[in-house]
Amino acid sequence: GDGSIERGTGWLPPNTPTEEEKAKAAAMVGSEEPVEAAPAEAAAGQGSFALPEIEPAFDQWLSAQLGASPADSKDTDEFKYITFSEIPPFTDKHKSLMRKTLTPELFEQLKDVKSSKGYTLSNGMQAGVLRPHLGVGFTAGDEECFTLFKDLIYPIVNGWHKFDPATQLHKSDLDWTQLQFSEEQAG
């Protein structure tokens, strides 16, 4: 790795203080800057998990979704899975193929689907909902997800890789004796 650590709102360079650390430091040196209170999510038993700030109206919606979400067996102090009760009111900042592909009808069709390992549509969407800049915006938690959520995943794969899993076959040849090298590569 590059030495980066994950903080609640994404990847930050090493030694980048959190807002809480900045506030504590400001208070310690007698700064006149106001010291912000800990995020409501942390105070409400959310551990160190914090929602990103995207746009005020969206942030309010997202906070309500998190607050209404049941506990998930995959939750940790650093990460909470959100169960979305409705298709997100995406902002213009949301650029992912998931956002472009997910319709209200598709959300309704898949919202209650769960893999045998407990991965849901909401789990897969969360990356793209919380991180508007992502290009793909959906994660598959296990192999079964590729079948269960294919109506969403296949168009995303096609858009990202220009490969249509519904009509094309991906052939793998793992026989090392079939490898061919140029003289430069072989040297």
pTM of the model: 0.68
| Percentage of the chain exceeding pLDDT 90 | 65
Contact 157, 170 (CB under 8 A): no
Contact residues for 14 (Cβ-Cβ < 8 A; gap 6+):
3, 4, 5
* pLDDT band per the 50, 70, 90 thresholds, residue 171: confident
For 78-124, how does the pLDDT look when each residue is reduced to its tens digit (9 = 90+)? 999 999 999 999 999 999 999 999 999 999 999 999 999 999 999 99
**Would the pLDDT of 185 be above 80?**
yes
What's the Cα-to-Cα distance from 85 to each of 26, 93, 104, 125, 137, rounded to whole Å? 39, 21, 11, 12, 18
